[in-house]
Structure 1
Amino acid sequence: MEVMTLNDNNTMPKLGFGTYKSTEQEGVEAVKTALKAGYRLIDTAAKYENEEAVGKGIRESGVAREEIFVTTKLWREKLGYEETRAELDRSLSKLGLDYVDLYLIHWPANKKNYSDWQKTNADTWRAMEELQTERKIKSIGVSNFWPEHLNALFRTAKVVPAVNQIEYHPGYWQAELTEFCKESGIAVESWSPLARGKVFDNNVLKEISKKHNKSVAQVCLRWILQNDVIVIPKSSTPERIRDNIDVFDFELTQEEIKRIDALPTFGFSGELPNIWPDRVY
């Protein structure tokens, strides 16, 4: 598996397994299938309510803990210094782990939901920096942070976020935010890489996939990887879990990448970090 070296010198697999909506025994089996297929990055979150299933899947997989990169996330309604420390302990307990490889603020505090959103994010980050020093977390990062949230965080942070996990897929890939992160030394990670299935009806993607004798999903994942972005596709179907990792034996041409880059906006989730929980379509 190809890896990316983060700004803290830890390495992270470039392709991982997302577990959103993978709960109970289905979640356990999905994680085991993914690890057997060769995935070594497993992504979960407190909000997914499946950390117990993910932890069980890891334990039952037979793969050594040190070979697996585990990400979980702090939910946006639990921000703040004390809350962060307590929430990580809850996540570790549910996962059955002593540490996580990456801990993310799932969504930033914003002025709609917090009277002093800058301080809330700063206090949350201070707790995460301490937890990293205590070795309960190897790398710390954020999710769905825009430049306005990152710039505010930079004013007090001692540690630059290692990762920003954002919505990123053909039709909506937040080019300016991606460039801002890369210029700041922050790795970008894609969630919803297949735009909740919207990519499968796109004629450009279908044409490119036919040329390479690959699926549309595989072309989308390859496009993300070639843009130097980490990606975490999710599935509960064993065949698709295996297909989604089978993307390292072909390359898109620069012309194909530019064609995908230029696709009009589609598949946007409607979720924005500055107004949650509202959606805009």
Structure 2
Amino acid sequence: MRIPAFGLGTFRLKDQVVIDSVKTALDVGYRAIDTAQIYENEAEVGQAIAESGVSRSELFITTKIWTENCNAEQLIPSLKESLRKLRTDAVNLTLIHWPAPKLGLNIPETMQALLEAKQQGLTELIGISNFNIAQTQQAIDSIGLEHIATNQIELSPYLQNQTLVNFLQAHNIDVTSYMTLAYGKVLADPVLGEIAAQHQTSTAQVALAWALQRGFAVIPSSTKREHLISNLNAQQIQLSADEMQRIATLERNSREVDPEQLAPAWD
């Protein structure tokens, strides 16, 4: 993968809560941090990184461009503002947060502006988030497959999104899974519970291990040190083919994030 397989998500974390989460995560070994303009926590993430003592060169920082900034005039200035807040000259990965077809987002124009940001050295890699197959193909046609590092999409044992995943993996576009625990809904799943008992681990770790073994990058969030450590340790779990197949049967097409004005027609 071009991007780290394991990182810290910061969605819905604000103010001192996100500062503490990022600093604790960096302290226990995380080196990838995912934020976004709309999270309104980039400045706090930047502060936490600065106070952590971890060298910028060790870190992989991702941010996402919000819909109102996805045009040729505003994308690069908005990214520069994100860099200022994050206290860095460049991020490692910048994504278009939503395709927002109902808001009239122009994918070719947006992708060209994002590519220009990469060429200016403001971001090492670029990619997309919440794009369906047709929109991903539009992005590819706009700037070339080689420039699209990932599509960050909602994925969990309850939303396996197989058609889109197959398309992305066939095109060697890294898949980043967000909401891998489905807002915690998978934590009480009896099948995951049985598998967790076999491995003497937690259901959260099993869900994360499932995603990692599918070849996805994961970015779970937590505010508690013990959960941050536990999530990170999911990388050590090896599920059997039979266990992976049992998890495959949990598909419900159950989506947690589907904003009407922003989301595409899902595949």
TM-score interval, normalised by the smaller of the two chains: over 0.9
- Find the counterpart in structure 2 of residue 243 from structure 1: 230
Aligned mates of 1:215, 1:279 — CA distance in 2: 34
Conserved 8 A contact 1:193-1:220: yes
- Find the counterpart in structure 1 of residue 135 from structure 2: 149
Secondary structure at the residue paired with 1:141? strand
- Find the counterpart in structure 1 of residue 21 from structure 2: 30
Secondary structure at the residue paired with 1:156? helix
1:66 to 54, 57, 69: 57
- Find the counterpart in structure 2 of residue 15 from structure 1: 6
Residue 268, structure 1, aligned to residue 255, structure 2:
yes
Secondary structure at the residue paired with 2:234? coil
CA change 1:188–1:264 in 2 (3 A) is: closer
**What TM-score, normalized by structure 2, do the two folds share?**
0.94
- Find the counterpart in structure 1 of residue 30 from structure 2: 39
Aligned mates of 2:179, 2:39 — CA distance in 1: 14
Q: Structure 1 regions of 5+ residues with no counterpart? A: 7-11
| Superposed displacement of residue 267, structure 1 | 4.4
Conserved 8 A contact 1:160-1:186: no
Secondary structure at the residue paired with 1:81? coil
Spell out, residue by residue over 1:109-158, the C-alpha distance to the aligned partner (whole angstroms, 9 max, x if none).
31x221xx4xx111111111111111110000000011110122222214
The structure whose residues are more often helix, as a share, is 2
Aligned mates of 1:79, 1:264 — CA distance in 2: 33
Amino acid at match of 1:99: A
Amino acid at match of 1:113: L
Aligned mates of 2:257, 2:6 — CA distance in 1: 25
Secondary structure at the residue paired with 1:13? coil
The Cα RMSD (Å) is 1.7
Residue 77, structure 1, aligned to residue 45, structure 2:
no
CA change 1:231–1:270 in 2 (3 A) is: closer
Pairing 1:131-146 to 2, within 5 Å after superposition = 131-146=117-132
Conserved 8 A contact 1:193-1:231: yes
| Superposed displacement of residue 257, structure 1 | 0.4
More deviation in 225-234 or 74-83? 74-83
Aligned mates of 1:171, 1:251 — CA distance in 2: 20
CA change 1:266–1:209 in 2 (3 A) is: farther
Aligned mates of 2:92, 2:204 — CA distance in 1: 27
Q: Structure 2 regions of 5+ residues with no counterpart? A: none
- Find the counterpart in structure 2 of residue 9 from structure 1: none
The share of aligned pairs that are identical, in percent, is 38
**What TM-score, normalized by structure 1, do the two folds share?**
0.90
The number of residues matched between the two structures is 264
Spell out, residue by residue over 1:75-125, the C-alpha distance to the aligned partner (whole angstroms, 9 max, x if none).
123211111111101111111110000000000131x221xx4xx111111
Amino acid at match of 1:73: K
Residue 124, structure 1, aligned to residue 117, structure 2:
no
1:54 to 45, 67, 77: 45
